[in-house]
Amino acid sequence: MKLIPLGILGSGKGSNCRAILESIRSGALAAEVRVVISDVFDAPILDIAREFSIPNAYLTPGKFHTRLEPQAEAELVRMLREANVELVVLAGFMRILKSPMLEEFPRRIVNIHPSLLPKFPGLEAWRQALEAGEKITGCTVHYVDEQIDHGRVIGQREVPILPNDTPETLHARIQIAERELYPAVIAAFARKYQAS
Ligand code: GRF
């Protein structure tokens, strides 16, 4: 079977990365994670990669806080190319990608965001939705472009906001929805890849 080669980038906990790896292990997702890369040396996402025996690497991000230094971004392209990655999956990667990543992987970088985009881009989107008095929020998988949480929407899942929700309870339910949505969206990419 032809497996779509994935590269996963993350800065934190890695629950989406784990969901993708578990989905592959269960046979629901015809993909192969070639590499997991983090800009945070001790990020739990790298431990998850090790647990699943997936090649993993720390990428030194350089001096900026919200993006990679040009040299670091060039190194990232090199690592992903070397691993023959077809689809780049952002799973809690806290840096904006620019050139050369966007040119090297056109419409082949996806991200997951904890709101129904275009509503509530940016940080703590669940808190933004709660404070805005929304009745429904959710999560979105979208293509990555040069703006934050902005590119074309690929898939969404709704999550109702309950009367007693706190930011924490709401966030937890959104994350459950994320762990279903992301593998399902990637499975659609995998089917197209198989047919290509
Ligand atoms: C997710 O909630 C995702 O929506 C956001 O970052 C978080 C990453 O969580 N982009 P995890 O590292 O996958 O647990």
SS (H, E, C) 34-70: EEEEECCCCCHHHHHHHHCCCCEEECCCCCCCCECCH
Q: 8 CA to middle of ligand 1, Å?
A: 12
Q: What pTM was computed for the model? A: 0.97
Half-sphere exposure of 20 (CA within 13 A, CB side): 32
pLDDT, mean of residues 40-51: 98
The SS3 assignment for 159 reads strand
The CATH number of the domain covering residues in 4-111+141-156+182-195? 3.40.50.170
pLDDT mean across residues, the chain: 97
List pocket residues of ligand 1, CB cut-off 6 Å: 10, 12-17, 91-92, 112-114, 175, 178
Instruction: Return the pLDDT at 1.
Output: 86
Q: Where are the domains of the chain?
A: 4-111+141-156+182-195
The answer to whether residue 86 scores a pLDDT higher than 90 is yes
Q: How confident is the model at residue 12 (pLDDT cuts 50, 70, 90)?
A: very high
Give the pLDDT band (50/70/90) at residue 5. very high
